[in-house]
């Protein structure tokens, strides 16, 4: 399956946006991990903004950046959201409350508990009535999202945005499911080459197990291994280098995604 | 879209443990709803419970996955000839060429809810037997189904609240059309938990009595649990059987509110229009509409408006949630299967619980079951976050 990458976004520790992170991802500037700075969701009205949790802020931040970079209208573009976990703080608060005698659950907590909360807020923020799907495949969530977005581009012949995001759970869930940090990435993908295209990517699901491409920086490699959404880092690195490359991304056991990258300029 | 053949399906919910029991209950308008007796929940509401789950355990080799949601998945996979048909599918195409696309909203969250009652009093740690990956994680049920059936193709959970397992048909259709897999197991599984019972209660969306879709006195949903599975294949792959055809899928978003549908049903209407366009059909080609019909004031009013705008009052329609309850992430596939049962059995199910249709609602709502040939059905599923999906199913 082939698509043209028109917009790219990234947000993570020491990765404050695509342009600012490009040299680091390309390996031409040193990586300095720090706390990820997640901006408030400028896209949402203040009342809605107050109700959103971290995953929604993350998704909206990278979605906004990717569409700005692509110069496309978010209102007319279908979306694929993928996350290994939902809103961890919200889950913790709900489960604490449900384990207490009162069992008080607030309506906002409840509607924020759905896995597609980010997609719902994205629709409200961008006024997009286009289709949106919200996926989860544990550690393979990035790969599952990329496959789905590529299939939509290939089959429906329309531009599609992929938004992948994950963040650590609070304790005690963190110990049961340790996630190594906050990370989000987004790609705006199109079926045809336009002046906006930065690169073409060709994605294939291969049954043969193959070692996934590693990040050369040890800290970025740690992020790739410990944050499911960061399993896409080798693709972002290849896009940042802007040279022809083939990367292998993690997927389910017994399958890997091979992604060929060809710069358009 | 190019139609896909549904070559096998299975269904389990409070109406029964197989397709014949469910069809018989729907035809005779029997309801599976009863006063809530789930776990320690003391809410004045009715639920559609699958009693067999309490005693069931998942297959020994997958014991780590044991939780109410995966038990329910296993019941669905073992119902009728589904597991056998899936094994034949694996032989026919190869394990790597069969995908798994399952919808759920709450996965195994019940395990986490119960584990939070057993936290270490000093450290706050969860009990040592708590298994996140196999139970709580939203992706767990697709992983479980993939392993249970020995499949190796693409596998993912679609989790967009109450539209999840209708949308799973769209994901499967795209993956097959793109050549990523040749056939797919599409499913939906959602089980009772404290999150949904107390959550919907907090929104004042649960009915005290069994829910009454489209009734003038409707006062909210009844939550149920259930599983449904379907095998979809390309027609030119000569499927062993053809139960029905998946003719069209239409998806849209409301862009309006997290938990309230668009008052004029704009998103719902777009989903239905797209499903018809995807099937290459006009509204007049549809014989029966299985509504989302949750029995909340707002859903039924907005859905009625959207359906009336497109179909007028002529197309018979009903909600079967008075029979099954709202199966949330499993509602989409369950109602796709209800649509197939209607086609195969030549009936349009009536609406148990509904006494008098709200006079302000204008569609051709069916109170009683009607025997009639049914060739094409439109099935609606709408979820929190404004996620809408309509399916068109037809005779093979």
Separation in Å, CA of A7 to nearest CA in chain B: 22
Range B23-40 average pLDDT: 98
Q: Per DSSP, what are the bridge partners of residue A170?
A: none
Residue A14 has pLDDT above 80, yes or no: yes
B96/A255 CB distance under 8 A: yes
Separation in Å, CA of A77 to nearest CA in chain B: 11
How many residues in chain B? 396
A155/B178 CB distance under 8 A: yes
Nearest-angstrom CA–CA distance, B321 and B47: 11
B174/A207 CB distance under 8 A: no
Of residues A91, A111, A177, nearest to B259 (C-beta):
A111
Burial class of residue A48 in the structure, from the number of CB atoms within 10 Å of its CB (0-12 exposed, 13-18 middle, 19+ buried): middle
Nearest-angstrom CA–CA distance, B294 and A197: 44
Residue B75 has pLDDT above 90, yes or no: yes
CATH H superfamily, domain B4-394: Thiolase/Chalcone synthase (3.40.47.10)
Residue A254 has pLDDT above 80, yes or no: no
Which of these, B172, B97, B330, lies nearest to A148 by C-alpha position? B172
The pLDDT tens digits of the residues spanning A49-79 come to: 888 999 999 999 999 999 999 999 999 999 9
Interface probe for B, chosen from A92, A95, A179 (most Cβ of B below 10 Å), is A95
Taking the alpha carbons of B106, B111, B114, B118 in that order, is the dihedral positive or negative? Answer: negative
Helices B331-345 and B19-27: crossing angle in degrees, nearest 10, is 70
pLDDT at residue number A171: 98
Separation in Å, CA of A30 to nearest CA in chain B: 35
Nearest-angstrom CA–CA distance, A164 and B262: 27
Of residues B137, B158, B178, nearest to A151 (C-beta):
B178
Q: Point out the residues of B that are catalytic.
A: 162, 292, 326
Residue spans per domain, chain B: 4-394
B174/A176 CB distance under 8 A: no
pLDDT at residue number B205: 96
The pLDDT tens digits of the residues spanning B119-157 come to: 999 999 999 999 999 999 999 999 999 999 999 999 999
Which pLDDT band, with edges at 50, 70 and 90, does B278 fall under? very high
Nearest-CA residue of chain A relative to B270?
A: A129
A205/B159 CB distance under 8 A: no
Residue A209 has pLDDT above 80, yes or no: no
Helix (H/G/I), strand (E/B), else coil: A185: strand
CA B37 to chain centre: 22
Residue A48 has pLDDT above 90, yes or no: no
CB-based contacts of B178, cutoff 8 Å, min separation 6: A1, A150, A151, A154, A155
Nearest-CA residue of chain B relative to A205?
A: B180
Q: What is the CATH number of domain A2-196?
A: 3.40.47.10
Nearest-angstrom CA–CA distance, B1 and B394: 14
A104/B202 CB distance under 8 A: yes
Range B65-87 average pLDDT: 98
Nearest-CA residue of chain B relative to A125?
A: B255
pLDDT at residue number A26: 97
Residue A256 has pLDDT above 80, yes or no: yes
**CB–CB of B85/B231 below 8 Å?**
yes
A138/B139 CB distance under 8 A: yes
Residue A210 has pLDDT above 80, yes or no: no
Interface probe for B, chosen from A87, A134, A146 (most Cβ of B below 10 Å), is A134
**Pairing label, strands B183-190, B98-103:** parallel
pLDDT at residue number A230: 98
Which of these, A15, A79, A42, lies nearest to A230 by C-alpha position? A15
Nearest-CA residue of chain A relative to B268?
A: A129
Interface probe for B, chosen from A2, A84, A116 (most Cβ of B below 10 Å), is A116
Residue B69 has pLDDT above 80, yes or no: yes
Q: Which residues of A touch B195 (CB under 8 A)?
A: 94, 98, 105, 110, 113
Which pLDDT band, with edges at 50, 70 and 90, does B72 fall under? very high
Taking the alpha carbons of B88, B89, B93, B96 in that order, is the dihedral positive or negative? Answer: negative
**CB–CB of B62/B131 below 8 Å?**
no
Nearest-CA residue of chain B relative to A254?
A: B152
Q: Which residues of B touch A135 (CB under 8 A)?
A: 156-159
Residue A25 has pLDDT above 80, yes or no: yes
pLDDT at residue number B259: 87
Nearest-angstrom CA–CA distance, B268 and B292: 10
Residue A264 has pLDDT above 80, yes or no: yes
pLDDT at residue number B65: 98
What DSSP designation does A116 have?
A: T
Residue B302 has pLDDT above 90, yes or no: yes
Of residues A96, A111, A141, nearest to B258 (C-beta):
A111
pLDDT at residue number A208: 80
The pLDDT tens digits of the residues spanning B202-259 come to: 999 999 999 999 999 999 999 999 999 999 999 999 999 999 999 999 999 999 998 8
Interface probe for B, chosen from A97, A113, A131, A178 (most Cβ of B below 10 Å), is A131
Phi-psi region of A51 (alpha: psi -120 to 50; beta: other; left: phi over 0): alpha
Question: How many residue contacts between A and B have a Cβ separation below 8 Å?
Answer: 210
Nearest-angstrom CA–CA distance, A224 and A230: 5
Residue B38 has pLDDT above 80, yes or no: yes
Can you read off the two tokens belonging to residue A87? 């809103």
A117/B385 CB distance under 8 A: yes
Nearest-angstrom CA–CA distance, A15 and A156: 33
How many residues in chain A? 265
Residue A265 has pLDDT above 90, yes or no: no
What is chain A's mean pLDDT, rounded? 95
What HEC string does chain B produce? CCCEEEEEEEEEECCECCHHHHHHHHHCCCCCCEECCCCCCCCCCEEECCHHHHCCCCCHHHHHHCCHHHHHHHHHHHCCCHHHHHHHHHHHHCHHHEEEEEECCCCCHHHHHHHHHHCCCCCCCCCCCCCHHHHHCCCHHHHHHHHHCCCCCCEEEECCHHHHHHHHHHHHHHHHHCCCCCEEEEEEEECCCHHHHHHHHHCCCECCCCCCCCECCCCCECEECEEEEEEEECHHHCCCCCCEEEEEEEEEECCCCCCCCCCCCHHHHHHHHHHHHHHCCCHHHCCEEECCCCCCHHHHHHHHHHHHHHHCCCCEEECCHHHHCECHHHHHHHHHHHHHHHHHHCEECCCCCCCCECCCCCCEECCCCEECCCCEEEEEEEECCCEEEEEEEECC
Separation in Å, CA of A228 to nearest CA in chain B: 13
Nearest-CA residue of chain A relative to B151?
A: A254
Nearest-angstrom CA–CA distance, B297 and B331: 19
A99/B113 CB distance under 8 A: yes
The pLDDT tens digits of the residues spanning B171-208 come to: 999 999 999 999 999 999 999 999 999 999 999 999 99
Residue spans per domain, chain A: 2-196
Residue A40 has pLDDT above 90, yes or no: no
Which pLDDT band, with edges at 50, 70 and 90, does A41 fall under? confident
Residues of chain B above pLDDT 70, percent? 100
pLDDT at residue number B67: 98
Q: Per DSSP, what are the bridge partners of residue A202?
A: A2, A260
ipTM of the complex: 0.98
B124/A171 CB distance under 8 A: yes
What HEC string does A62-113 produce? HHHHHHHHHCCCHHHCCEEEECCCCCHHHHHHHHHHHCCCCCCCCHHHHHHC
A176/B143 CB distance under 8 A: no
Can you read off the two tokens belonging to residue B101? 């696309």
A176/B126 CB distance under 8 A: yes
**CB–CB of B292/B221 below 8 Å?**
no
Q: Which residues of A touch B156 (CB under 8 A)?
A: 135-137, 140, 144, 148
Nearest-angstrom CA–CA distance, A11 and A227: 13
Taking only residues 66 to 125 of chain A, the set having a beta carbon closer than 8 angstroms to any beta carbon of chain B reads 84-86, 91, 94-96, 98-99, 103-107, 109-117, 119-121, 123-124
The pLDDT tens digits of the residues spanning A118-156 come to: 999 999 999 999 999 999 999 999 999 999 999 999 999
Residue B333 has pLDDT above 90, yes or no: yes
pLDDT at residue number B328: 98
């Amino acid at each position: 399956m082939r698509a043209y990458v028109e917009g790219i976004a990234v947000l993570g520790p020491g990765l404050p946006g695509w342009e600012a992170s490009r040299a680091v991802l390309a390996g031409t500037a040193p990586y300095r991990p720090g706390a990820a700075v997640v901006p408030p969701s400028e896209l949402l009205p203040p009342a809605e903004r107050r109700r959103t949790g971290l995953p929604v802020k993350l998704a909206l931040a990278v979605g906004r950046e990717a569409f700005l970079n692509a110069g496309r209208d978010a209102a007319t573009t279908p979306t694929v959201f993928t996350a290994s976990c939902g809103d961890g703080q919200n889950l913790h608060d709900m489960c604490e409350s449900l384990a207490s005698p009162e069992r008080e659950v607030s309506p906002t907590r409840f509607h924020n508990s759905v896995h597609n909360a980010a997609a719902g807020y994205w629709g409200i923020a961008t006024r997009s009535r286009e289709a949106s799907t919200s996926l989860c495949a544990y550690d393979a969530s990035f790969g599952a999202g990329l496959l789905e977005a590529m299939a939509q581009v290939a089959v429906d012949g329309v531009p599609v945005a992929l938004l992948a995001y994950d963040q650590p759970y609070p304790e005690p869930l963190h110990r049961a499911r340790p996630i190594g940090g906050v990370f989000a990435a987004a790609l705006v993908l199109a079926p045809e080459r336009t002046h906006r295209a930065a690169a073409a990517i060709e994605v294939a699901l291969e049954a043969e197990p193959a070692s996934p491409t590693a990040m050369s920086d040890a800290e970025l490699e740690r992020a790739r291994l410990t944050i499911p959404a960061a399993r896409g880092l080798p693709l972002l690195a290849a896009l940042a280098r802007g040279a022809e490359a083939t990367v292998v991304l993690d997927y389910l056991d017994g399958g890997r995604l091979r992604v060929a990258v060809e710069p358009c300029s | 879209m190019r139609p896909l053949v549904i070559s096998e399906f299975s269904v389990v919910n409070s109406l029964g443990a197989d397709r014949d029991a469910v069809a018989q209950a729907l035809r005779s308008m029997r309801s599976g709803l009863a006063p809530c007796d789930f776990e320690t929940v003391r809410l004045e509401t009715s639920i559609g419970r699958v009693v067999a789950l309490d005693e069931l355990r998942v297959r020994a080799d997958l014991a780590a996955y044991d939780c109410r949601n995966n038990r329910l998945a296993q019941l669905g996979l073992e119902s009728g000839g589904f597991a056998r048909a899936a094994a034949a599918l694996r032989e026919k195409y190869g394990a790597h060429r069969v995908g798994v696309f399952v919808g759920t909203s709450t996965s195994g969250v019940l395990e986490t809810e119960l584990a939070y009652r057993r936290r270490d009093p000093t450290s706050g740690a969860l009990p040592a037997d708590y298994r996140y990956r196999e139970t709580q994680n939203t992706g767990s049920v697709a992983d479980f189904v993939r392993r249970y059936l020995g499949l190796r193709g693409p596998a993912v959970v679609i989790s967009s609240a109450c539209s999840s397992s209708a949308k799973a048909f769209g994901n499967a259709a795209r993956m097959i059309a793109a050549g990523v897999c040749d056939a797919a197991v599409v499913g939906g599984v959602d089980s009772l938990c404290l999150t949904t019972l107390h959550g919907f209660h907090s929104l004042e969306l649960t009915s005290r009595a069994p829910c009454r879709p489209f009734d003038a006195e409707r006062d909210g949903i009844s939550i149920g649990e259930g599983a449904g599975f379907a095998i979809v294949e390309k027609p030119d792959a000569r499927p062993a059987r053809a139960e029905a055809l998946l003719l069209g899928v239409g998806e849209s978003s409301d862009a309006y509110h997290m938990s309230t549908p668009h008052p004029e049903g704009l998103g719902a209407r777009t989903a239905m229009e797209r499903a018809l366009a995807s099937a290459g059909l006009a509204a007049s080609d549809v014989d029966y509409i299985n509504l989302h019909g949750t029995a909340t004031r707002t859903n039924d009013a907005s859905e009625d408006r959207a359906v009336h705008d497109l179909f007028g009052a002529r197309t018979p329609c009903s909600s079967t949630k008075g029979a099954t309850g709202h199966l949330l992430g499993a509602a989409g596939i369950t109602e796709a299967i209800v649509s197939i049962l209607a086609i195969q059995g030549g009936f349009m199910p009536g609406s148990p619980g509904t006494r008098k249709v709200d006079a302000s609602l204008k569609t051709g709502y069916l109170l009683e079951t009607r025997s009639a040939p049914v060739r094409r059905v439109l099935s609606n599923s709408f979820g929190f976050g404004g996620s809408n999906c309509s399916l068109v199913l037809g005779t093979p």
